[in-house]
Amino acid sequence: MATTEFGQTVRRWRDRVPPEAAGLPAGGHRRAAGLRREELALLAGISVDYITRLEQGRAANPSEQVVEALSRALRLSGVEREHLFHAAGLVPPGRGMVPAHITPSVHRLLDRLTGTPVAVYDAAWTLLLANPLYAALMGDPSGWRGNERNGVWRNFVGQDSRVRHTPESGRALETALVADLRATASRYPADQRLRHLIAELHANSDRFAELWDSGAVGRHEASRKTVDHPRLGPVTLDCDVLSVAGSDLRIMIYTAEPGTENAERLALLGVLGTQALVES
């Protein structure tokens, strides 16, 4: 019964979200004003087939991660998010868990920053949402799963980043990430997923284990970063991390100084990114 209700709820709320409200183009003939399944799948990072089976009641027991991803993609309010968890037969994450809900106001903020690469992370540096320009700058994160979506994991264990680091800046970043993750773990001691992430990092990265065991202290601050883009070459941008009061979310924003070559390359990136989406 819960699965049937869950699928009906997803379908009903999908129909009410216009594509332009989710940062997607609204062109072409549409039978309904809301999101297509393919669009919801893209926004949530879930396969179209799985969303189809959920809506038709042929898939049972969606995971907490799936429900959270759908609630973000559908831009649900706090009350609606809780209802979706209950419809899936799950208990909404409690106060002892790292918050992953993106409020409508944060969604609106991202909608107004279409010319700026922006990503939203939770307090454990897990990527929750990235706008198309961020994906064009850093690489498309839509196919990342599990630990691949975590910035600490990607820095210590995962694939290389496009961000260029000197040995000094790389060490400073590593120290800051470990210290920040330690502070997050102290704020959310009941979050088992966070504890599991830390254990896996400790087991898979000698550098992380060294910093964690030493009690390293650092701070993640604003900085200038050079991104080696595969088509544009190096782009140097200011990177600021903003905190959202009451939610412990981090909004990462990349900007270029107006009138510079980097600003021109960032503008060109918007065109290249759009073309890549159309071509795909």
How do residues 108-144 score in pLDDT, each as one tens digit?
A: 888 888 889 999 999 999 999 998 899 999 998 888 8
Residue of higher predicted confidence among 204 and 17: 204
How do residues 161-190 score in pLDDT, each as one tens digit?
A: 899 988 998 898 999 999 999 999 988 988
Task: Please tell me the predicted confidence (pLDDT) of residue 179.
Answer: 93
Q: Is the pLDDT of residue 277 over 60?
A: no
How do residues 143-161 score in pLDDT, each as one tens digit?
A: 888 899 999 999 999 877 8
Task: Please tell me the predicted confidence (pLDDT) of residue 259.
Answer: 93
- Please report whether residue 92 resides in a domain: no
- Please report whether residue 99 resides in a domain: no
Q: Which residue has the tokens 């409508």?
A: 104
- What are phi and psi for residue 246, nearest 5 degrees? 85, -5
- Please report whether residue 94 resides in a domain: no
Together in a domain, 247 and 152 = yes
Together in a domain, 224 and 111 = yes
Together in a domain, 125 and 244 = yes
- Please report whether residue 44 resides in a domain: yes
Share of the chain above pLDDT 70, in %: 91
Together in a domain, 119 and 250 = yes
Together in a domain, 65 and 199 = no
Three-state SS string over the chain comes to: CHHHHHHHHHHHHHHCCCHHHHCCCCCCCCCCCCCCHHHHHHHHCCCHHHHHHHHCCCCCCCCHHHHHHHHHHCCCCHHHHHHHHHHCCCCCCCCCCCCCCCCHHHHHHHHCCCCCCEEEECCCCEEEEECHHHHHHHCCCCCCCHHHHEHHHHHHCCCCCCEECCHHHHHHHHHHHHHHHHHHHHHCCCCHHHHHHHHHHHHHCHHHHHHHHHCCCCCCCCEEEEEEECCCEEEEEEEEEEEECCCCEEEEEEECCCCCHHHHHHHHHHHHHHHHHHHC
Cα–Cα distance for residue pair 64/48, rounded to 1 Å: 18
Together in a domain, 134 and 269 = yes
Domain at 18, CATH number: 1.10.260.40
Task: Please tell me the predicted confidence (pLDDT) of residue 17.
Answer: 85
Together in a domain, 115 and 166 = yes
Cα–Cα distance for residue pair 105/107, rounded to 1 Å: 5
- Please report whether residue 96 resides in a domain: no
- Please report whether residue 130 resides in a domain: yes
Residue of higher predicted confidence among 261 and 78: 261
Together in a domain, 71 and 159 = no
Together in a domain, 53 and 172 = no
Together in a domain, 33 and 113 = no
Together in a domain, 82 and 152 = no
- Please report whether residue 156 resides in a domain: yes
Return the axis-axis angle of helices 37-44 and 2-15, rounded to nearest 10°: 100
Average pLDDT across the chain, whole number = 87
Task: Please tell me the predicted confidence (pLDDT) of residue 100.
Answer: 86
Of 87, 120, 135, the one marking the end of a domain is 87
Q: Quick one: which of 246, 28, 276 has its CA closest to 142? A: 276
Of 56, 87, 118, the one marking the end of a domain is 87
State which residues form the domain around 83.
Answer: 2-87
Task: Please tell me the predicted confidence (pLDDT) of residue 104.
Answer: 82
Together in a domain, 125 and 165 = yes
The count of structural domains within the chain is 2
- Please report whether residue 231 resides in a domain: yes
Of 87, 121, 149, the one marking the end of a domain is 87
Domain at 131, CATH number: 3.30.450.180
How do residues 30-50 score in pLDDT, each as one tens digit?
A: 777 788 898 898 888 889 999
How do residues 208-234 score in pLDDT, each as one tens digit?
A: 999 999 987 766 766 889 999 998 999
pTM above threshold 0.85: no
